[in-house]
Structure 1
């Protein structure tokens, strides 16, 4: 029987395999029915319940907040909730992160200081939560704060959640040459993370994320460099990173963090880019059709279509 017979149809799933989050996201995207009132109140109640149930699982809380912020950016939900409950840290953080999401889409923030103030207030109200510092780190990245300040914020996030995935990826982006850093800074950071991070930690994908970003940058540049992009995956450090991930990540229960399937998408993409598609079959099996926008949407392509094509090639 073919490995993928009966497999689920690939679909974009911002909530990944988080069922409760998926239900909440679906409800937030519902179009109000005729005569229906209080939709914003209903949305706020659902988000409130979800975040309350998440408790102090900081990894999942950070993930859920990030997805909720992306979903509600531009809607009335975050601002209405924050206005109604100005001393509720969840309300403050959703509002702040949704504004950061809008800023990332537009390429800048109109009032970054107010977002940072909201995060500091949320940090006062819930001192153990890393999320306020993760959001400030995102603002610092977008606004290009000086490096010393950014590193101080990053340390605050890690003091509360040592392997926080989002904090690591934010700093990786800040250090990248595309955002004003350099390739040397990225390599130094990746080496440091690799040396101290457990193989199954939420931040374990930093090295592979850096590799995929670099590969996509080379491929998008055009010219001779683009023609040689496939040779990128033959460099020993990149080969070793891909080998380590391929040997462990698809194993059931190895990756347990909230965004594990996002990292498995990254691995499946990298194996295809490296022309090691036969090794990607167990990765696609573990994903069960769960697709993330990045890294599949490079060049404006439909991520689900690219994912589906790679999945088919993996089992030939």
Structure 2
């Protein structure tokens, strides 16, 4: 209903305005809201209502990105890219239009030069933007347009410079969980032995480093901190270190994310089971 759509648009606008120039929180809110709005015509309705405003252009582009991820292709890549450039022109200091463009280019499997150019636009405005780093990490994977060695090079570059509480601090752990999913998906004997991955030197180092600070109250303050803590809890469980996950589960309370728990079954049941062990 048009009246309900107007109310929802006002709510979205208010949430984005409240985020201000906190680029991390702004991107997180847009991501969550776009996922929720993807099944509806809300984004198009807002853009038609305010066709020259930056936020409606950006929101529609992100909604189309969500749909593109689900479909495996962009339905109208040219229009979505144009929306990103329109928002970028209107908001020259905002990295978010470039974050969305990066995601769209990834779905399109565009040339790596285009991806790195968009990534540079993001990081020149917001050095440790979480969404941009994760988009490039997945693009560089062997499942998409890269290779394991190329992805590892990117991870090592990030690890060498990322501050311990930056929004992109979870890049290397994300790469390890992606590798877990990759091995499990192969089936056969490799899938049965997937937990061995978590006892090798690299995985042990990453988990030990995260355990130093991540479970400390107030250390991770970026908008998706709970998602990264879910990542850590999952990895500790897979590594057979569930006893060390108590502090992490304590910070999470009852906040479970679908990924990565869905890799081993129903995410809520998996989360609740392992939380009950602490």
* Shorter-chain TM-score tier: over 0.9
Match of 1:261 among 226, 242, 247: 226
Partner of 2:34: 69
- Considering fraction of residues, name the structure with more helix: 2
CA deviations on 1:33-90 (whole Å, 9 max, x unpaired) are: xxx8610011011111111111100000000000000000021211011111112111
For residues 76 and 142 of structure 1, what CA distance do their matches in structure 2 show? 21
Post-superposition shift, 1:106?
A: 1.2
The normalised TM-score by structure 2 is 0.98
The equivalent of 2:235 in structure 1 is 270
Give 1:203 deviation, angstroms.
0.2
CA distance in 1, matches of 2:79, 2:224: 29
CA contact (8 A) 1:87 1:125 kept: no
Q: 2:121 corresponds to which residue? A: 156
Moved over 3 A (4+): none
**Residue 285 in structure 1 maps to residue 247 in structure 2:** no
Displacement of 1:146 in angstroms is 0.5
Residues 69 and 94, structure 1, Cα contact 8 Å, conserved in 2:
yes
- Mapping 1:80-91, distance limit 5 Å: 80-91=45-56
Contiguous gaps of at least 5 residues in structure 1? 1-35
Q: Which residue of 1 is the match for residue 176 of structure 2? A: 211
CA RMSD of aligned residues (A): 1.1
- Corresponding residue of 1:168: 133
Number of aligned residue pairs: 278
1:42 aligns with 2:7: yes
Q: Taking CA–CA contacts closer than 8 Å with sequence separation of 6 or more, which of the two structures ends up with the larger relative contact order?
A: 1
Structure 2 gap ranges (5+): none
**Paired residue secondary structure (1:178):** coil
- How many angstroms does 1:192 deviate by? 0.2
Give the TM-score of the pair, scaled to structure 1: 0.86
1:107 corresponds to: 72
